[in-house]
C-alpha cells in the first residue's frame, strides 16, 4: 500500500510542477494558470477580451490601480510598460523584441550599438526603448501611448 500512495504523491507533485512551469514560462500556457498558483499580478492573466482587467503588482500592495479596460492588455514592450493595447499589439511587441538583434546594425553607427539597419527606426514605447521596428509600428506605438489614459480602468 505504501508504494501505491508514494506513486500517487509523486504524480500529484509532478502535476503541480507542470502547472508551476506553465506559470513561469512565457509560452501560451500562461492563460491557463490557476490564480492559486500564478497569482493575479501578471498581465498575462488578461490574454482574452473577457478577462482583460489587468492587475498590476502594485494593486496587491494597496497602491494605485493599473488595470486595462476590457479588450486591452499591458503592452510589455519593455519592463514596467503598462500601456494598454490589444492582445495583437502586445504579441507584435514581443516579436519585435525577439527580432531586435537582427534589426540593429552589426557595425554600429551614429547611435552606437542601438543604430538600426535601413528601413527600421526606434520603437520608443518609452524614451529609452531603442528596439528597431518599422516606421508604421513606431507610429502605432506613439498613438497607443497617446491613448493610454483612455484604456485604463479609473
pLDDT of 48-101, one tens digit each?
333 334 444 443 333 356 899 999 999 999 999 999 999 999 999 999 999 999
Contact 125, 75 (CB under 8 A): yes
For residue 58, what pLDDT is reported? 42
Q: Which of 4-18, 24-38, 129-143 has the lowest mean pLDDT?
A: 24-38
Statement: the pTM of the whole predicted model exceeds 0.95: no
In angstroms, rounded to a whole number, what is the distance separating the alpha carbons of residues 5 and 10?
A: 9
* Residue 66: HSE in the Cβ half-sphere, 13 Å Cα cutoff: 19
The per-residue pLDDT for 132 is 97
Which whole number is the average pLDDT over 40-48?
A: 38
Instruction: Render pLDDT for 1-22 as a digit per residue (tens, 0 to 9).
Output: 555 555 554 444 444 343 433 3
* Residue 141 near residue 123 (C-beta atoms within 8 A): yes
Q: Which sequence spans correspond to the domains of the chain? A: 40-151
- CB within 8 Å of 63: residues ≥ 6 apart: none
**CA-wise closest residue to 131 among 83, 98, 84:** 98
What does the DSSP 8-state code read for residue 56? Answer: -
For residue 16, give every residue at least 6 positions away whose Cβ sits within 8 Å of its Cβ, in sequence order, or none. Answer: 37
Q: Which of 7-21, 26-40, 119-133 is the most confident on average?
A: 119-133
Average pLDDT along the chain: 73
Amino acid at each position: 500500500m505504501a508504494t501505491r500512495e508514494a506513486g500517487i504523491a509523486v504524480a500529484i507533485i509532478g502535476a503541480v510542477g507542470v502547472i508551476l512551469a506553465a506559470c513561469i514560462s512565457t509560452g501560451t500556457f500562461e492563460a491557463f494558470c490557476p490564480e492559486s498558483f500564478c497569482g493575479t499580478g501578471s498581465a498575462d492573466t488578461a490574454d482574452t477580451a473577457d478577462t482583460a482587467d489587468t492587475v498590476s503588482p502594485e494593486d496587491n500592495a494597496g497602491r494605485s490601480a493599473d488595470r486595462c479596460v476590457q479588450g486591452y492588455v499591458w503592452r510589455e514592450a519593455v519592463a514596467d510598460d503598462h500601456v494598454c493595447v490589444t492582445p495583437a499589439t502586445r504579441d507584435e511587441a514581443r516579436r519585435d523584441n525577439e527580432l531586435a538583434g537582427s534589426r540593429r546594425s552589426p557595425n554600429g553607427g551614429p547611435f552606437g550599438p542601438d543604430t538600426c539597419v535601413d528601413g527600421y527606426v526606434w520603437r520608443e514605447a518609452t524614451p529609452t526603448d531603442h528596439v528597431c521596428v518599422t516606421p508604421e509600428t513606431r507610429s502605432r506605438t506613439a498613438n497607443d501611448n497617446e491613448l493610454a489614459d483612455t484604456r485604463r480602468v479609473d
